[in-house]
Amino acid sequence: MMKLTVLLMTVALLQVHAAGYSQTVTISRSNAPLDMIFKEIRKQTGYTFLYTDEQMLQERKVSLQLKDASLKEALEACFRGQPFSYSISDKIVIVKRKPATDNMAAPPEQEVRGKITNEKGEPLPGVTIQVKGTAKGVVTNEKGEYVITVPDNRAVLVISSLGYNKTELPVNGQKELSVALQPSASNINELVVVGYGEQKKGTLTNAISSITAKDFQDAPVNRLDQVLQGRATGVQVTNSAGSPGGSVRIRIRGSNSINGGNDPLYVVDGFVGAEFFSINPDDIASIQVLKDAAATAIYGSRGANGVILITTKKGGKGGLKLNFTTRQSVSTVIKKLDLLNAADFAETANAHAAAVGTPPKFTDAQIADFRAKGGTDWQNEIFRSAPAQEYLLSLSGGTEKSGYFISGNYLNQDGVINNSFYKRYTLRSNINASLSNRVSAFLNITGSYSTAQNADIPADGPSSPLAQALTWAPTTPVRKADGTFTVSDPVGSQFYNPVALTVDRIALRDRMLANMIGGFKFDVLPGLTFNLQYGANYLQYEDKSFGGKITNNNVSSAGIRSNKELVLQNTNTLNYRKVFNNVHSLDVTAVAEYQQSTYNYSSSGATNLTYENFQWYNLALATAGTPGSGYSRWALFSLVGRVNYAYNDKYLLSAALRRDGSSKFQGNNKYSYFPSVSAGWVVSNEPFMQAVRGISNLKLRGSWGLTGNQAISPYSTFSSYSNIPASFNNSTHVVGLVMGNIGNPGLKWETTEQKDVGLDIGLLKGRIAVTVDYFIKDTRDLLLQENLPMYLGGNSITRNVGAVQNKGWEFAVEGEVINRGAVHWNTGFNLSFVKNKVVSLGEGKARIFDPNNRKIGGGMSPQSEFVVMPGQPLGAIWGLTYLGTWKPGDSKAAAYGAKAGDARYLDLNDDGAIDANDYHVIGTGIPTTSIGWNNTVTYKRFTLNLLFQGLFGFDRLNYNRAAAMYYGGDAREATLAEIKDRYIPGVNETSDIPAFSTTNRNFTQSSRFLEKGNFLRLKNVSLAYDIPKSALKNTLGVKVFVSATNLLTLTDYSGIDPESSSSAGDIRQGIDFGTYPNAKTITGGITLSF
């Protein structure tokens, strides 16, 4: 700008009025921008125009019909009626603003009126009509009509509205101008489901991620987590177990709690607390992920971990539509580890024996025989190619007053580890009807039954088929000569036969669910509606377990536990919406809601089964165990109020307050208030933005609010009793009562305070949408379980202590990259950063170790593997720092009782000993960064979908590698092929794999086995081809497709799968020890549409 000013001043000092012109100009243009005319004159005459972009904001479009006109005549025609004048110097035409004159008569204003409609001809209220280059503007009324005065007949009207393309209309002397606006490529005008209502996406002031059915329609998804993974910003989905029906970890903006639970709240068609496993993705119409407090505070005490709103499909006007889809697939394990073959294993075992002074394990003849015939590949013995089949059927239709959607789904999926599978049956019926002009009703019913066998491997090595497959010697056969299982490994693992574990250990869960929600909507007055809803959810599940003698220390056992829960809900919603004076939009919502849950269970077990084949079906013919039973009940009553206000769709304000009363707490702590407030400024609707052509939407927003967490036992505030057998005469036992958990009547809600600022940008008429968010979540009054001192009984008690913080950034870009002819390419990219940190653990506490006494590593872990301490993320990994091997000539080795080739660890306190005092935080198992990139490319009737997904910023303690390398009591010999690269004196003295030695100390709980778990996956690639009904005589439409899941994984992690984890819970993430890995799946199928 400074250079332009200097140039203008210089040219002004030298300017000379031209006396005449010899050039001629020929132009034929109608309603053209002034700068376009300037460019045309420059081409024909060589004269350059000097002006600024700010000047052109005041231009008036011109229409010229000139033939062989002089330059002067052309310039006079261009500047006639413009707020500019000009001068010429050295073939430069300098454009200047006309000076204001007091005696200049203002041109007479004229009135223009008209009507604005959408593409369907329906009137659009609230549309902005502005005179270009001025601040003058009006908005349309309820009928889409407007009246505005313009300075003259050369004025241009700029017409804009959220969700529609901006349009410019030259007045050209017309007194009536009407236009139908076309929807923009963006979706800011669509209605988005929010808590207890709907809002236009363009007027939202909170952070919400949306997924529609078209985003995953060509992907072979059969669970909700597969829909969310990689497609929703700020949502971190981790398949902790790759088994069909296995556990999954879903977190929205990090983890807030240690004991209170971190799973999001699921709301399906208005039913709060829906079951995650029972949702058939083919029934989903849309998903909204509520992330900031302004969106989640309306769910109060259950909104701290985020809320996932799911809306299922409905029937619409028209005849019967029938869709049938079948998918057939086969899955294989992502990869296998490189293990020693039988001959190499035998040679290595002998080398180890020679180094430590024990007899060799194998003879030369045995080794030669293994070399010739091979041995047992335990990975091949437990892994398999797993088939799956799925069938989906849906019917929908309706009339002007009613609609229906009915669907059924059957899924039968085998796992890649022997004898694991998942089966599911679901049915859904959604019916909606208009009973009168003012009353409508709906009723949604769904049922689900599923069976999962051996889906979740226990979090320890001895019971994991995979962990044992990696440690059993390849020289040991699966079965003995008589066909029975080999019970023990003579040289390798101390635990159970891996193949026997797949068939002789069974964990089965049967789940049956029935859910119903229905209600009535009354249009009381214009703008005022009342919704009355009732819902019920019945869940029954049975956990059955069996262990045969071979895998249970020669004692067979079985057990069964039956669980039942009934949840009832009543929701009453009053809503008022009205637009005042065409610019003031008001949306007021009031809710009264009641929900109660009743749960009971009973359990029994037995050992020494008479007939193992009966498993848990004949416990009477065995030694009975201790039966169990229990009952619990809780209730929640809530009052909610929310007000949304918008001025001319530019200035947005929202405030909400929820009051929850929970039976889980006592006294004054029973009730709590959860307020939120948010505001937004749609900058793109301001007059000064109308001339900015590249930006179609620009919105700034911010929010603040409080949410809660009450995910604790209904009776944590009460003390409980336990029974204990005691003997007073050394001959008989008497069962007595002792104090169990200590009640804490002062317990209160965990409270999360969240602040969020966001920016929404639409570019190129909505073809590109960018969203950026920064948030800070502070959770206080953490619900922690502590053990009291022994002088107080040593019992546990739940208290409110400590604080956790999550903060981070979220970025999302959605765009229509190509839309030309037969080629369309839509893309969506999201990136999330979350930093989790423990702020405090209460007064006087420096750290808390994992309260689970059973260490995942078992005997390999001298201490708890996880610690919670201020300044560190939840679930920090606790261990030693590995420094490689001691090298020749290092005199310090002897001070630690070591020699060259032995393992070397960091002596944290420099006391000359490696012990418990040298343990510290060495890593974290919770990812800090997640990305997703979804692409859909269509060419004629072909559709290609590519989904990439990745997690970064986390560590894995690879206990699979440790168990197969560390030469401990659980696994006596190494099985990994990398052991051949160990330190060998005089041969390989640079290796950091310790040598075979009697002085070596192997600590598996160390950074030696800690690896980065970062990975990027091609999560899904699918190709579909549509055969239209017209090609088949309008009888049916056909779509054939093929897809691949987890086809490619880019990672430096040496284990099988960087994503799976051996244990649930946010403070126990990051250990891989026999974890069920994710699978690579190829799917083919066909969809028929009638």
DSSP for 636-679, written as a single string: EEEEEEEEEEEETTTEEEEEEEEEEEETTS-GGGGEEEEEEEEE
Average pLDDT over residues 968-986: 90
| Tokens matching residue 559 | 């057990």
Closest CA to 378 of 335, 336, 334, 420: 336
- C-alpha to C-alpha distance for 715 and 633, rounded to whole angstroms: 9
Asked whether 1045 and 220 are in contact (CB, 8 A), the reply is yes
H helices of 132-266, where? 224-228
Asked whether 342 and 376 are in contact (CB, 8 A), the reply is yes
Domains of the chain (ranges; CATH) run: 2-97 (3.55.50.30), 110-180 (2.60.40.1120)
Regarding predicted confidence, which is higher, 1081 or 1030?
A: 1081
Distant-in-sequence, close-in-space partners of 377: CB < 8 Å, separation ≥ 6: 339, 474
Read off φ and ψ for residue 650, nearest 5 degrees.
-110, -45
Average pLDDT over residues 794-819: 87
Pairing verdict, β 768-780 and 803-820: antiparallel
DSSP reduced 3-state for 918? helix
List pLDDT tens digits, range 65-109.
Answer: 888 888 888 888 888 878 888 888 778 888 887 765 544 455 567
How does 54-71 read in b/e, with b if 16+ C-beta sit within 10 Å? Answer: ebbeebbbbebebeebbb
Average pLDDT over residues 813-825: 88
Regarding predicted confidence, which is higher, 695 or 691?
A: 695
Average pLDDT, the chain: 87
Q: Check whether 7 has a pLDDT greater than 60.
A: no
Read off φ and ψ for residue 1057, nearest 5 degrees.
-140, 120
- C-alpha to C-alpha distance for 176 and 167, rounded to whole angstroms: 16
What per-residue confidence (pLDDT) applies to 667?
Answer: 84
DSSP reduced 3-state for 351? helix
Percent of the chain having pLDDT more than 70?
Answer: 93
List pLDDT tens digits, range 1064-1079.
Answer: 778 888 889 988 999 9
Find the radius of gyration of the CA atoms of the chain. 36
Angle at CA of residue 545, ends 539 and 550, nearest 5°: 170
List residues bridging with 957 in a β-sheet.
1010, 1071
List pLDDT tens digits, range 341-373.
Answer: 999 999 999 999 999 999 999 999 999 999 999
Q: Check whether 338 has a pLDDT greater than 80.
A: yes
For the chain, counts of helices (H) and of strands (E)? 12, 57
What per-residue confidence (pLDDT) applies to 10?
Answer: 37
Q: Check whether 4 has a pLDDT greater than 70.
A: no
DSSP reduced 3-state for 827? strand
Regarding predicted confidence, which is higher, 996 or 198?
A: 996
Average pLDDT over residues 106-125: 81
For residue 125, CA distances in Å to 41, 116, 202, 229, 654 come to 43, 8, 15, 39, 21
pLDDT band at 433; cut points 50, 70, 90: very high
Asked whether 750 and 781 are in contact (CB, 8 A), the reply is yes
What per-residue confidence (pLDDT) applies to 968?
Answer: 76
- C-alpha to C-alpha distance for 81 and 911, rounded to whole angstroms: 91
Q: Check whether 378 has a pLDDT greater than 50.
A: yes
- C-alpha to C-alpha distance for 605 and 833, rounded to whole angstroms: 47
| Tokens matching residue 235 | 């949502």
List pLDDT tens digits, range 915-966.
Answer: 999 999 999 999 999 999 999 999 988 999 999 999 999 999 999 999 998 8
Distant-in-sequence, close-in-space partners of 213: CB < 8 Å, separation ≥ 6: 284, 285, 286, 313
- C-alpha to C-alpha distance for 849 and 877, rounded to whole angstroms: 10
pLDDT band at 215; cut points 50, 70, 90: confident
| Tokens matching residue 795 | 């019992």
Closest CA to 228 of 279, 301, 188, 193: 279
Output helix, strand, coil percentages for the chain, rounded to the nearest 5.
15, 50, 40
- C-alpha to C-alpha distance for 1082 and 327, rounded to whole angstroms: 10
List residues bridging with 259 in a β-sheet.
none
List residues bridging with 110 in a β-sheet.
150
Q: Check whether 6 has a pLDDT greater than 70.
A: no
Read off φ and ψ for residue 744, nearest 5 degrees.
-130, 95
List pLDDT tens digits, range 287-331.
Answer: 999 999 999 999 988 889 999 999 999 988 778 889 999 999 999
840, with CB counted inside 10 A (0-12, 13-18, 19+), is middle
What per-residue confidence (pLDDT) applies to 1051?
Answer: 96
What per-residue confidence (pLDDT) applies to 451?
Answer: 95
| Tokens matching residue 809 | 């950034």
Average pLDDT over residues 782-799: 72
Q: What is the number of other CB atoms lying within 10 angstroms of the CB of residue 851?
A: 16
What per-residue confidence (pLDDT) applies to 57?
Answer: 66
List pLDDT tens digits, range 662-682.
Answer: 998 888 888 999 999 999 999
| Tokens matching residue 662 | 């929970």
Give, for 796, the enclosing helix (H) or strand (E). Answer: strand 796-800
Asked whether 1076 and 1060 are in contact (CB, 8 A), the reply is yes
531, with CB counted inside 10 A (0-12, 13-18, 19+), is buried
List pLDDT tens digits, range 27-68.
Answer: 888 777 887 888 888 888 888 887 766 667 677 778 888 888
List pLDDT tens digits, range 750-777.
Answer: 899 999 999 999 888 778 899 999 999 9
Q: Check whether 5 has a pLDDT greater than 50.
A: no
Asked whether 34 and 154 are in contact (CB, 8 A), the reply is no
- C-alpha to C-alpha distance for 298 and 639, rounded to whole angstroms: 10
Q: Check whether 746 has a pLDDT greater than 90.
A: no
List pLDDT tens digits, range 583-637.
Answer: 889 999 999 999 999 999 999 999 999 888 899 998 988 888 889 999 999 999 9
Give, for 541, the enclosing helix (H) or strand (E). Answer: strand 528-547
Asked whether 491 and 475 are in contact (CB, 8 A), the reply is yes
List pLDDT tens digits, range 524-535.
Answer: 998 999 999 999
For residue 441, CA distances in Å to 320, 412, 432, 522, 534 come to 21, 35, 6, 9, 12
| Tokens matching residue 268 | 């399906």
- C-alpha to C-alpha distance for 3 and 453, rounded to whole angstroms: 76
Residue type, 984: I
What per-residue confidence (pLDDT) applies to 827?
Answer: 93
Percent of the chain having pLDDT more than 90?
Answer: 54
Closest CA to 874 of 1004, 1059, 1065: 1065
pLDDT band at 19; cut points 50, 70, 90: very low
What per-residue confidence (pLDDT) applies to 535?
Answer: 96
Give, rounded to a whole angstrom, the gap between the first and last alpha carbons of the chain.
65
Asked whether 329 and 740 are in contact (CB, 8 A), the reply is no
What's the length of the chain?
1090
457, with CB counted inside 10 A (0-12, 13-18, 19+), is buried
